[in-house]
Amino acid sequence: MDQELLKKLHSLAQLDRDAVSVYSEALPHVTDSEVKEKFTIFANQHQHHVEELSGAIERASGSAPALNVDAMGMVADWIVSFRSMLGEKGPLHAMHMAETYHNSRYKEAVGWDVGDADLASLLQTFYTEEQHHLSFIDDRLAVKSS
């Protein structure tokens, strides 16, 4: 696996690491039990993405990537925290923004020439999960607006 692809995979793993943090920030502000349950599932899926991508990176490079909440993750946490204070729809709006970005990144990733069918399948699976996250949030925002 070439260095450019490793950097891209590391960036995705970092994105998912930050997503775990963002969901953790949003969850205490969620009052709707269904949304809380889905957000917990989504956070766990993002953690799974981190683990799988980190494993792929480690197998290819020989070392596990260092992943901590980075500056973008801290900004995202702050935005989620602020938006979450704005009422019941705040966490949904904040996570909509985050998941829209995640979807764009994974849409790009499924187009990469990764040279490995298993990794390509993994990226497609993760993109499908990201689409599901965004679809749920879109649906909940539509219901809340009615």
Residue 8: CATH number of its domain: 1.20.1260.10
| 21 vs 70, higher pLDDT | 21
- Name the band, by pLDDT with cuts 50, 70 and 90, for residue 145: low
64-99 per-residue burial string, b: 16 or more CB within 10 A, e: under 16: ebebebeeebeebbebbbebbeeeebbbbbbbbbbb
* Prediction pTM value: 0.85
Specify the amino acid at residue 138.
Answer: D
User: What is the Cα–Cα distance from 32 to 52, expressed in whole angstroms?
Assistant: 30
- The predicted-structure confidence for 43-67, as pLDDT tens digits, reads as follows 999 999 999 999 999 998 877 777 6
The helix (H) or strand (E) run that includes residue 8 is helix 3-26
Provide the domain limits for residue 31: 3-145
Q: Which of 122-125's residues contact partners 24+ apart within 8 Å by CB, and which partners? A: 122/52, 122/53, 122/56
Closest by CA to 86, choosing from 95, 94, 97, is 94
Task: Record the tokens describing residue 19, joined without a space.
Answer: 């997503």
Q: Which residue has the higher pLDDT, 58 or 69?
A: 58
| Residue 130 φ/ψ region, left for φ over 0, alpha for ψ in the -120 to 50 degree band, beta for the rest | alpha
Q: Taking Cα atoms as reference points, which of 95, 62, 60 lies closest to residue 76? A: 95
Q: According to the model, what pLDDT value does residue 78 have?
A: 45
Q: Domain count for the chain, please give it.
A: 1
